[in-house]
Structure 1
């Protein structure tokens, strides 16, 4: 479908990277605008006045916010290489897992990485319980979407790439291969796909950004 496609994002955001992954998988041409969180552009504030966050997706002047909403719009607008199943039950199930990832996983991972030492063991245990749900959901499939990457795989990019970054940046171990073999294999497979590999930020740059932003390794005064 013709028309101007704009994406306002942030280079280190797993949420704006989700949208780029979908656009790349579907072969959609788009213009990317990287935002500076300390000096947000007038366009971002115009298109997303409620949350003032990325990603913001603009197609022919019409704008959308929230990555999962954007992914569904893209899939319904550009039919090639679908990321949502055709079967109604499977579609509903994919939506459930994508929403579950957003509501539960990032906050749990973040807590495991940034909480006080005395709370860390419990936080890591809670995150492990969540990761086990995804380990079980993979069953014997190559991806959560079966043989091709789908909505849940893209939503789970937080686990497929960013989790390992968080682990290294904050010195926490969460995704152990002996405990989560299917999830680890899925993550390796996921990031090896060219459309995904092209849309993940440089590892060293992201680790340095996180450590600098949250003062990891800096001596206290």
Structure 2
């Protein structure tokens, strides 16, 4: 069994929202770790060894025991280091947090991504609608809450939602979309500003300009070949 004193390594890439989730959880808990930057065009032996199933990042390695999938990793971090809880102690509230974190991945992340980076126009429109529906549910869920989905402090849903707060504004600006705005989703937008101003989140968010340039080039290549 890995003890929480054993070495912690995180394999990832700087611009990934999924890797960012793990950075946030580790920093929030005050865990010391080594970040190993991967090149996904030329995957390291280490990545292939530790995540032979998906060959994707992030991968957390704790005491030589690897774990993949960002939300699974965040829960593991929460259970391994007891300070600054990420999940509520109440079983029902814990289950709800898991539900909404998974909802973000199932209903918002993929749809928002494809609404920009899909070649087919009909496919793009379908995904815009799906992303808007997902954001509407989250808008209703955050309404009347404290600062975050987790209350006064960030929790699993907030960490899962970093894609909405930071990545969606970048990709929608590139594509000229009005997907996530303060007019459409005032409560969710206010939450996103609180999240990005949280000291831990601020520390680990990737620099916006290089990320914007990277996605813009990708978008232009896509539209040029369409």
Q: TM-score, normalised by structure 1?
A: 0.94
Alignment check: 8 A CA contact 1:8 1:55 kept: yes
* Correspondence 1:42 to 2:84: no
Instruction: Map 1:83-102; keep pairs closer than 5 Å.
Output: 83-102=86-105
Alignment check: 8 A CA contact 2:142 2:149 kept: yes
Query: Partner of 1:109 in structure 2?
Result: 112
Query: Partner of 1:77 in structure 2?
Result: 80
Please give the secondary structure, in 1, of the residue aligned with 2:67. strand
Give the Å deviation of 1:125: 2.7
Distance in 2 between residues matched to 1:136 and 1:48, nearest whole Å:
37
Distance in 1 between residues matched to 2:183 and 2:174, nearest whole Å:
22
Alignment check: 8 A CA contact 1:16 1:54 kept: yes
Match among 191, 194, 211 for residue 186 of structure 1: 191
Query: Partner of 2:216 in structure 1?
Result: 211
Query: Partner of 2:130 in structure 1?
Result: 126
Match among 132, 137, 140 for residue 136 of structure 1: 140
> What 5-or-longer segments of structure 1 have no aligned partner?
none
Distance in 2 between residues matched to 1:17 and 1:48, nearest whole Å:
18
Distance in 1 between residues matched to 2:128 and 2:169, nearest whole Å:
14
Alignment check: 8 A CA contact 1:26 1:78 kept: yes
Distance in 1 between residues matched to 2:91 and 2:222, nearest whole Å:
49
Alignment check: 8 A CA contact 1:75 1:83 kept: yes
* Correspondence 1:196 to 2:201: yes
Of 136-145 and 48-57, the range deviating more from structure 2: 136-145
Please give the secondary structure, in 2, of the residue aligned with 1:177. coil
- 1:88/1:219 Cα in 2 relative to 1: closer, same or farther (>3 Å)? closer
The number of aligned residues is 221
> What 5-or-longer segments of structure 2 have no aligned partner?
none
Q: TM-score, normalised by structure 2?
A: 0.92
Please give the secondary structure, in 2, of the residue aligned with 1:68. helix
Match among 7, 10, 14 for residue 13 of structure 2: 10
- 1:79/1:178 Cα in 2 relative to 1: closer, same or farther (>3 Å)? same
Query: Partner of 2:68 in structure 1?
Result: 65
Of 188-197 and 209-218, the range deviating more from structure 2: 209-218
